[in-house]
Amino acid sequence: MRAAVERRCVLTGLAALSAVGCSPRAELRPAAPARLSDEAIDLADLEARNGGRLGFVVQDAATGRKLVWRGDERFVYCSTFKMYLAAATLLRVQAGQERLDRRIPITAGDMINHAPVTEPAVGVSLTVEQLMKGAVEVSDNPAANLLLKAMGGPSAMQIFYRGIGDDSTRSDRFEPEMNRLDGDKDTILPNQSVANLQRLFLDPASPLTAASRALLLQWMTDTPTGQNRLRAGTPANWRVAHKTGTGGYGPTNDIGLLYPPNGQPVIVAAYYHAARATSDDANAAVIAEATRRALKALGRD
């Protein structure tokens, strides 16, 4: 019964902004990580050596084993949300509330920083499918804002999260404001992100159809971004379907599914709030090293 209610909420709630519910507020603060256990991964040395705070959760879909570091702390998710935005839009397509081929005009007023797909299209239009592809593959910011506006804004995005059983993720602002640290606004828990990925891509009762999952995973696989993050920590013969996010002042994120040549994937959510003074390459190396360690600990290296 609960699964059925959640699916109805996902498919119909995005247009009903009056139904938005707010989760209890939680302060964004560097709490101590969970007590170490055989299901924890100790990444304290990475934090000590590089500075900042790392939220990292990895789950082996084959065994269910999960390794956690700071899994229940809040992190700004930055552009990793664009993968979830595309999933929410695909649910609207499935429900008949949106069409992949609907064209949306692109105007100069839509333009903000990082618009590799939408800026060349100013004065014409792009389809919803093209906007999703641009948002996921190359993290186009105006594309994300146009899709978010089409579904009803950040409040509708929060309804999507609640509809897939996520009671904690916050959706409050558009790009680029959502990248700015402001309490718990636009934040996510690494544990919840892994649960969301499992729900959308691996759960037999996923609200996404097989066709929607395949389309989204293809964009996540084809993305050229973040080659030195999750990809760099994963064996070369594995397929990596992921979405990066970068805050420009330290936050360096990457989430996705790591597919070995045979067998079930490994789900990973990495949210690293690095020190402002560190370089992009150094931040990415932290995520890559954490990924290598986790796969080795799981016996999947």
| Active site positions, annotated | 79
| Cis peptide bond N-terminal to 176, omega within 30 | yes
| Exposure b/e, 89-122, CB count within 10 A at least 16 = b | bbbbbbeeebeeeeebebeeebebebbebbeebe
Q: What sign results for the dihedral spanned by CA atoms 291, 219, 4, 160?
A: positive
* E strand or H helix at 227: none
Q: Which two tokens stand for residue 255?
A: 């989430």
Count of C-beta atoms within a 10 Å radius of residue 218: 14
105/297 Cα distance (integer angstroms): 49
Q: What is the DSSP string of 1-69?
A: -HHHHHHHHHHHHTT-GGG---PPP-----PPPPPP-TTB---HHHHHHH-SEEEEEEEETTT--EEEE
Q: What sign results for the dihedral spanned by CA atoms 76, 63, 207, 215?
A: positive
Q: Which two tokens stand for residue 80?
A: 């990793």
Phi, psi of 126 (to 5 degrees): -130, 155
112/89 Cα distance (integer angstroms): 21
- Give CA separation, 81 vs 230, 256, 293, in Å: 17, 12, 25
